[in-house]
């Protein structure tokens, strides 16, 4: 059987399983290193399971995606020509405002969930950088924005997940309750797995109450030590919800760099927010303000991925100042969160760099930082040229264990092949 016939048979079977939601792409679409010839968008769980059943029986690999806002994450996929999008698995399936929990289908836009829960006094504590995005995408990437300090990591918001495995089997883990140790915590495994273990159909999420009072403030520092000491102290105030430092590289190498700007949001009980604000910027009166500061942090973090190389570096708070100074001197645009300590650094490709994408020098520097200990690096985006050569999960450990897990959940390797650490 020729490849083409095989492909047609797969598409016909998918068309039947997904009830007419296969979209042929002519010319093929380029996403995540693949030339996609078709995209299938099942609209409910059974259809999603049917599609995966077809794909696994036909041995056809698939690019799993949500709304497509974070497809630059991860390594390029291998040998994939069909995309499976959860975009149409849309809607809130249950919302319990008395309990502050909600079950949402993977393709539901985060903005839609936020609007719904806010009308009942709750907040959705998922806060990816950048606009758009679906619940499934936020969970699969575990992507965090400026409010990680207040919201916690993505995994903390997830109570249970319904998934479809590569075989087409529908499975469930966790539940709607806020405390649960019944069986392995598979939800933790799925969160951040970039769709390589299973496809998320829907999830139970834990909401946070809308705080009584929110206030945002800004300060500038010339000295790096002052900036980082103050940022960490601000981040440890009890009402801190978002604290970030931003800095541009010197305009010309060696020139005196501009100031470090500290942007902070405090949220909680009014007296604490007032005290924390006053502590950071004496005389700043609290009140419920716009989202200027958080929006700026979010936009700057997202802009790191727009061009060049975007590295996310996780450190211990004590190592931040030194690393950030080094990166800035090397020409990085920075957004730094003091605790949990994360640096988002964007570098322009360097003229004269020997590497295929102008990134050898910078990657060498990052490797040095990692080698110095207690630093983990994830490359959120690379210049398109030659990015196939590099594993963006720099230095991931426990690869053997991770491969064993992948092998058990997706034995034929059809879900996002090649996208994950170590070529998983």
Binding flag, residue 386, another protein (CB under 8 A): no
Distance of CA 243 to the CA centre of its chain: 18
Q: How far apart are CA 384 and CA 310, in angstroms?
A: 12
From the list 54-62, 107-115, 207-215, 281-289, the region that binds another protein by CB under 8 A is 207-215
User: Smallest gap, in angstroms, from Cβ of residue 276 to another protein?
Assistant: 8
DSSP notation for 290-317: -SHHHHHHHHHHHHTTTSSEEEEEEE-G
Between residues 72 and 261, which has the closer beta carbon with respect to another protein? 72
Under the binding rule (CB under 8 A), the answer on residue 329 touching another protein is no
User: What is the signed CA dihedral for 36, 38, 42, 48, rounded to 10 degrees?
Assistant: -70
Please tell me whether residue 279 binds another protein under the rule CB under 8 A. Answer: no
Which of 7-15, 124-132, 289-297, 392-400 is the region at the interface with another protein (rule: CB under 8 A)?
392-400
Burial group, residue 319, by CB count within 10 angstroms (0-12, 13-18, 19+): middle
> Taking CB under 8 A as the rule, does residue 210 contact another protein?
yes
One of 25, 322, 405, 423 touching another protein (CB under 8 A):
405
Q: Which of 184, 251, 176 is nearest to 206 (CA)?
A: 176
Q: Which of 71, 101, 217, 294 binds another protein (CB under 8 A)?
A: 101
Give residues 285-304 in contact with another protein (rule: CB under 8 A).
none
Nearest distance, CB of residue 10 and another protein, angstroms:
24
User: Residue 104 interacts with another protein (CB under 8 A)?
Assistant: no
Closest to 81 (Cα-Cα) out of 20, 119, 14, 28: 28
User: Which of residues 42, 145, 211, 418 is near another protein by CB under 8 A?
Assistant: 211
Taking the C-alpha atoms of residue 59 and residue 70, their distance in angstroms, rounded to an integer, is 26
Nearest residue (CB) to another protein, 161 versus 362: 161
Residues 171-190 that bind another protein (CB under 8 A): 171-173, 175-186, 188-189
Residue 296, CA distances (Å) to 57, 113, 265 in order: 47, 22, 12
48 sits near another protein (criterion: CB under 8 A): no
CB contact at 8 A, 64 and 77: no
Considering only 212, 372, 385, 386, the residue that binds another protein (CB under 8 A) is 212
- Asked if residues 348 and 307 have their Cβ atoms less than 8 Å apart, the reply is yes
Residues 112-171 that bind another protein (CB under 8 A): 121, 142, 152-153, 155-156, 163, 165, 169-171
Q: Name residues contacting another protein, limited to 1-40 (CB under 8 A).
A: none
User: What is the closest distance, in whole angstroms, from the C-beta atom of residue 72 to another protein in the complex?
Assistant: 16
Applying the rule CB under 8 A, the residues between 220 and 259 that interact with another protein are 236, 238-239
282 is an interface residue for another protein by CB under 8 A: no
To another protein, the closest distance from the beta carbon of 329 in angstroms equals: 22
Nearer residue to another protein within complex by CB, 230 or 272: 272
Distance CA 10, CA 14 (A): 6
To which H or E segment does residue 27 belong?
strand 22-31
**Sequence-distant (≥ 6) Cβ neighbours of residue 241 within 8 angstroms:** 147, 149, 150, 151, 211, 214, 265, 266, 267, 268
């Amino acid at each position: 059987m020729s490849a083409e016939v095989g492909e047609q048979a797969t598409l016909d079977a998918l068309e039947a399983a997904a009830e007419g939601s296969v979209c042929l792409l002519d010319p093929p679409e380029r996403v995540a290193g693949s030339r996609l010839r078709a995209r299938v968008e099942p609209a409910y769980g059974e259809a999603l399971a049917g599609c995966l059943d077809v794909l696994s029986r036909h041995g056809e690999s698939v690019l799993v995606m949500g709304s497509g806002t974070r497809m630059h994450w991860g390594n390029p996929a291998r040998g994939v020509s069909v995309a499976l999008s959860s975009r149409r698995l849309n809607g809130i399936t249950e919302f319990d405002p008395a309990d502050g929990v909600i079950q949402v289908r993977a393709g539901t836009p985060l903005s839609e969930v936020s609007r719904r829960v806010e009308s009942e006094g709750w907040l959705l504590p998922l806060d990816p950088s950048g606009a758009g995005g679906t619940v499934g995408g936020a969970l699969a990437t575990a992507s965090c924005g400026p409010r990680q300090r207040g919201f916690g990591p993505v995994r903390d918001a997830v109570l249970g997940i319904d998934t479809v495995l590569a075989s087409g089997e529908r499975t469930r883990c966790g539940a709607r309750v806020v405390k649960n140790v019944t069986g392995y915590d598979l939800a933790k495994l799925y969160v951040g797995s970039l769709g390589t273990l299973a496809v998320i159909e829907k999830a139970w999420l834990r909401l946070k109450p809308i705080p009584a009072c929110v206030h945002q403030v800004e300060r500038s520092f010339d000295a790096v030590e002052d900036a980082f000491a103050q940022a960490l102290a601000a981040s440890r105030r009890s009402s801190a919800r978002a604290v970030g430092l931003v800095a541009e590289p010197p305009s010309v190498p060696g020139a005196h760099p501009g100031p470090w700007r500290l942007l902070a949001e405090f949220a909680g009980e009014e007296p604490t927010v007032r005290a924390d604000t006053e502590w950071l910027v004496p005389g700043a009166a609290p009140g419920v303000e716009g989202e200027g500061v958080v929006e700026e942090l979010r936009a700057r973090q997202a802009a790191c991925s727009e061009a060049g190389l975007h590295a996310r570096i996780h450190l211990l708070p004590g190592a931040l100042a030194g690393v950030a100074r080094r990166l800035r001197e090397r020409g990085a645009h920075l957004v730094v969160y003091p605790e949990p300590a994360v640096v988002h650094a964007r570098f322009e490709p360097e003229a004269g760099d020997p590497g295929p994408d102008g990134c050898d020098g910078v990657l060498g520097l990052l490797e040095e930082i990692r080698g110095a200990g207690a630093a983990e690096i994830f490359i959120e985006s690379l210049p398109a040229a030659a990015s196939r050569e590099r594993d963006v999960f720099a230095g991931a450990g426990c690869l053997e264990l991770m491969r064993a897990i992948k092998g058990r959940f997706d034995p034929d390797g059809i879900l996002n092949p090649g996208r994950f650490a170590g070529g998983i």
